[in-house]
Amino acid sequence: MRIAVAKPEVFKACAIGLGYFAFASLTIAWTRFDGGVAQIWVAAALLTAQLVRTDFRHWREPLIACSIASFMATGLFGLGWIAAGPLVAVNIGESFIAAALLRHLGMRQDYLNSLGNVGLFAICAGAVAPAITGIGGAITAALVTGLPIGQLWTSWFAGHALGMMVFAPMMTLMLQGEVFAWARKLTPRGRAEAAVLIGIMAFTSFLVFSQERLPLLFLPMLPLTIITFRLDRVGAALSIIMLVMISGMYTAAGHGPVNLIQGTSSIHSLFLQLYLAVTVMTVLPVAAELKQRKDIYRRLRESEMRYKLITESATDIVLELNTRGVIRYVSPSVREITGFSPDALIGKRPHALMSGPDARTFIAAHRQVRQSPGATTIIEYRGMDAAGELKWFEANNRGIFDDEGVLIGSVSAIRDISHRKSLEMRLAHAASTDSLTGLGNRRAFDALLDRILENRRSGEKGGCVAIFDLDFFKHINDLHGHAIGDRVLQTFATTALRIVRSHDYVGRLGGEEFGIILEGVDIEQATRICDRLRSAVAQEITRTPTGVAVTVTASAGIAAIHASQSRQQIMMAADQALYAAKAAGRDRLATAA
C-alpha cells in the first residue's frame, strides 16, 4: 500500500497559517481599543510576503491555511463567529490584492531594492489594498459593534496599512533568507556593532515612550538613521519593528508622549499610527536607495577588477585621460611596447606616446571624441618610443560621458602596428615596382603623372614625358634568349638612372617600353636630356655568358605636360611621337606636335 507524502508546499502553507493565526490573535487581543477593530494588523503582511514570492499556481495552499487561521482568530479573540466568515474574505482579500498588484508590476522577488519600488509597494500594499478591503471590514464590524462605519474604516485602514508597511519588509527578507544571510555575513566586530546600535535604538525608544512629560518623538530618528546606513535594510527593518513594539506597548498601557494629546485612546492610537507610518516611509526609501547604491558599487568594483585584469594582461596600451587631457591611467603594457614607465606617465599629458610627425593627428582625434558621445575614432600615427625609435601605432579613441552627457574623460586602446605597416609598405612597393629592373611600374608611373597634372593645374611648373622603346628587342630575345634580353632591359634601366637628373622619374611601362617624367623642363630641355640617354644606350654593351657583346639602340617620343590635357592624352601624344621616330628609321627622337 502506498503512503501519500505531503508536498513541500503544504508544509510551507501550514507554517504560514500558524504564523498568521499567531499574529492575528496577538494583534486582536492587544490592539483593540474602544471595542473596535485592531489598531495594527500584522498577519496580512506575512501572507502578502509569501504570496509575492510564490508562483501563482501555488497560492491555493497558503490562502486556504490563512483563511482557516483568520476564521479561528476572529472567532476566538475578535468580533465573534458571526463576523469571522465575512472577515475571512476581507482579510485574505487584502493580501491577495496587494500581492497581485505587486507581481503585476514586476516585483516578484524584492520590492525593497529601489526607491521607485518602495513607492509602488507603499501604494499597492499600504494604500490600495487596505483601502478597498477596509470597506468590507468596516461594514462587517459596524453590524457587530454598532460603531460608525467611517470611524471603523479609518481605524481599519490605518492599522492594516501600518502593519503592512512595518512588517511586510522584514517578513519578506526573512522568507528570502536575507536576514539569516545578513547575520552569517557579519564579522565579530560587525556583530558587536549591530548589538550596540540596536541596543541604543531600544534604549532610545524606551526613553521616549516610557515618559509623557516631553514630546521626544524625534529622538528615535537619529539611531534609526545610523542603523539604516550601517546595518543595511535588515537592520532598518528590525529597528522599525522594535520601535513599533515598544511604542505600541506603552501607548496601549496609557503611557508615553502620545498621551500629551487630548483625546481618547483611539485618537492616541491613530496619532501613533501616523507617526510610525511617517517614520517607516522615511527609513525604507533610504534603505532601498542605499541597497541600490551598494549593488552599483559592488558591480562597479567587480567591473573594475575585470577591467584591471584585462588591461594588465592585454598586449595593447590602455590609456585613460581626464577632461584636461592628462593621463590618469596607463596599462603596464606601455613599458614593453614603448619603454616608458607607467608611473612616470601618470599625471602628464600623453606627448611622450604621441611625439613624432603625427602628434597633431592624435590630439585632434581626442578632441573629436570629446564632442561625440558614443563615437569611436580609429587613427594611425607615428610616434617615438623611449629609445627614440619611430614606430607606427593604431589608436581606438572613445570619450567617457556620464548619464547627463557631460564629458568626464576619454580612453584609448593603442597597439603597435609597425610590423603591419612595414609589410604594407613592402607590399605597396612590390605593387608599384618592376621586379626585373627595380624601376617603378606602369601603375606608379601613371599615379605620379596624375599628381604632376594636379600640381600643374595649381600653377606649378609642368614638364615633359618621354616614352623609350628598345629597337629590334624581339630579335635580341630570339637570337640570344630571354635571359640576355632581361639583362639588356636592366642595362637600359641602369643607364637611364645615371643619365637623367636625380629628381626625374624612370619607370618600366611594359615589355621593352620605358617612360621618363622630366619635371620643370620644356620640350627643348627634355630633348637634350633624352638625346644624351639615347646616345648612352647605344654605347652600352651587354655580354652573354660566352662573351658575345650585345648592343641595342632606343627610340623615344616626347610630349609636354599640359594642364589642359589628361594623362591619357599626354601619353597618347608621346606614343604617337614614338611611332614617328621608329618610322623615321629608329635610334632617334621625335616630339609631339
Catalytic residues: 512
Residue 415 belongs to what H/E stretch?
strand 407-416
Closest listed residue to residue 365, CA positions, set 401, 399, 317, 326: 399
**Alpha-carbon gap, residue 120 to 127, rounded angstroms:** 10
The residue type of 541 is I
**Alpha-carbon gap, residue 139 to 397, rounded angstroms:** 70
Q: What are phi and psi of 399, to 5 degrees?
A: -80, 150
**Alpha-carbon gap, residue 91 to 551, rounded angstroms:** 118
Q: What are phi and psi of 515, to 5 degrees?
A: -120, 145
Residue 465 belongs to what H/E stretch?
strand 463-470
List CB contacts of 516: < 8 A, sequence separation 6 or more: 465, 466, 467, 468, 496, 500, 504, 505, 506, 507, 530, 533
**Residues 164 and 127 sit within 8 Å (Cβ to Cβ):** no
Parallel/antiparallel/unpaired status of strands 505-510 and 463-470 = unpaired
**Alpha-carbon gap, residue 102 to 342, rounded angstroms:** 52
Which three three-digit cell numbers place residue 546? 660566352
**Residues 507 and 514 sit within 8 Å (Cβ to Cβ):** yes
CB count, 10 Å around CB of 366?
A: 21
CA distances from 153 to 30, 140, 158 (A): 19, 10, 8
List CB contacts of 327: < 8 A, sequence separation 6 or more: 319, 320, 321, 345, 346, 347, 348, 349, 350
- Which residue is associated with the grid cell 593621463? 327
Residues in the chain: 593
Closest listed residue to residue 59, CA positions, set 48, 44, 45, 72: 48
C-alpha dihedral (322, 326, 329, 333), degrees to nearest 10: 140
The residues that bridge with 150 in the sheet, in sequence order, are none
- Which residue is associated with the grid cell 531594492? 113
Residue 557 belongs to what H/E stretch?
strand 554-560
The residue type of 395 is A
**Alpha-carbon gap, residue 94 to 85, rounded angstroms:** 15
CA distances from 253 to 30, 33, 154, 269 (A): 10, 11, 22, 11
**Alpha-carbon gap, residue 409 to 412, rounded angstroms:** 10
In 270-325, at which residue ranges do the beta strands (DSSP E only) sit?
A: 317-321
CB count, 10 Å around CB of 475?
A: 11
